[in-house]
């Protein structure tokens, strides 16, 4: 019994050792941003979305990681080929063109994006 217990404990100890684990090093780290105060809203049309949770979550995360976006409204409607999202952002830190670039490169270029109308200033 002791002969089985000792090697088992040794294997557990080695596998739990942080120096031998690469999982934490291979995980992408989320960017930590200061609180953003939006002063502008831009509507963006997005083609290629297949759901609100997965696609909407990816879009929100990517835009918020710019550290210039406070809030993203995604109201996915299954019957529409092109969804319209509303991005609440700080215009002094990002431009609509930059947001389009971020979204168009997301998920292996899954989305085709364009702005809808002009940016609307918030009061």
- Has residue 13 been placed in a domain? no
Q: What is the CATH number of the domain that holds 91?
A: 3.30.70.100
**Residue that wins the pLDDT comparison between 55 and 12:** 55
> Residues 102-107: what's their mean pLDDT?
96
Number of domains comprising the chain: 1
Question: 16 or 85, which is more confident?
Answer: 85
Let me know: does 46 contact 100? Beta carbons within 8 Å: no
Q: Is-above-0.85 flag for pTM?
A: no
11 — pLDDT class (breaks 50, 70, 90): low
Mean pLDDT of 106-114: 95
Beta strands 82-89 and 112-121, pairing class: unpaired
Say what the pLDDT of residue 32 is. Answer: 77
Mean of all residue pLDDT scores within the chain: 85
Range of the domain at 83: 40-121
What is the predicted pLDDT for the residue at 34?
86
Name the residue among 79, 86, 15 with its Cα closest to residue 44: 86
**Residue 87's beta-bridge partner residues?**
42, 72
Specify if 9 maps to a domain: no
């Amino acid at each position: 019994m002791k002969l089985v217990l000792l090697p088992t404990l040794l294997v557990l100890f080695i596998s739990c050792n942080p120096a031998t684990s690469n999982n934490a090093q291979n995980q992408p780290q989320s960017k930590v941003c200061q609180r953003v105060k939006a002063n502008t809203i831009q509507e963006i049309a997005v083609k290629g979305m297949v759901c609100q949770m997965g696609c909407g979550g990816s879009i929100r995360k990517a835009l918020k990681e710019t550290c210039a976006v406070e809030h993203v409204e995604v109201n996915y409607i299954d019957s529409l080929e092109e969804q319209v999202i509303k991005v609440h952002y700080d215009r002094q830190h990002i431009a609509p063109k930059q947001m389009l670039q971020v979204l168009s490169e997301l998920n292996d270029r899954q989305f085709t994006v364009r702005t809808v109308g002009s940016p609307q200033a918030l009061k």
